[in-house]
Amino acid sequence: MTRIGILGINDLTETFLVELFRLDPYVHVFLSAGDMERANRLARKFPCWILDTGQAVVDEVDTVLITQEIVRPGNVQENIEYRQTQLVLLFEIIPSFDNHDNSSGTERFINRHVTLQNLSPCLHLSDEHINNYLFVLRAQLMTMKLI
């Protein structure tokens, strides 16, 4: 059974969860309670568990998805300890800007790109890691189609 933890919740998390549960309705998803209102809303909509800390999420799962918003200097993210057997991925939204219409001094978002980077503490990926990576990648690609 696939056990995925999501540290941080961003605008794409709900869309990602829709595709994740569509691909595997039995996946176990654990959310960190950083943004409690959003986490509770997602847990009511999807069969997710909310845990108190990021470390508690990491301790429960085999695959960890980290959103860009929580990866900042001085953030609690720096104190989390991962197991060598975990696959750790950065799920990041990168905005694109329309530079042609910059008369107001503010950039307008015209689309978003999603990147998935392997931040796994282990260098050699097992067959299970590769399967989990491909599973998350498939859900991510389906998410991108909806953007």
The CATH number of the structural domain formed by 3-146 is 3.40.50.720
Of 8-17, 38-47, 69-78, 90-99, least confident by mean pLDDT is 69-78
What is the average pLDDT across 48-63? 93
Helix (H, G, I), strand (E, B) or coil at 74: coil
Residue 42 pLDDT more than 60?
Answer: yes
Q: Do residues 88 and 64 lie in contact, with contact meaning Cβ atoms separated by under 8 Å?
A: yes
Task: Give the C-alpha separation, 87 to 132, whole Å.
Answer: 8
Percentage of the chain lying above the pLDDT 70 cut? 67
Burial class (CB in 10 A: 0-12, 13-18, 19+), 64: buried
What's the pLDDT score for residue 80? Answer: 84
What is the average pLDDT across 11-15? 84
Residues 6+ apart with CB under 8 A from 118: 87, 88, 89, 125, 133
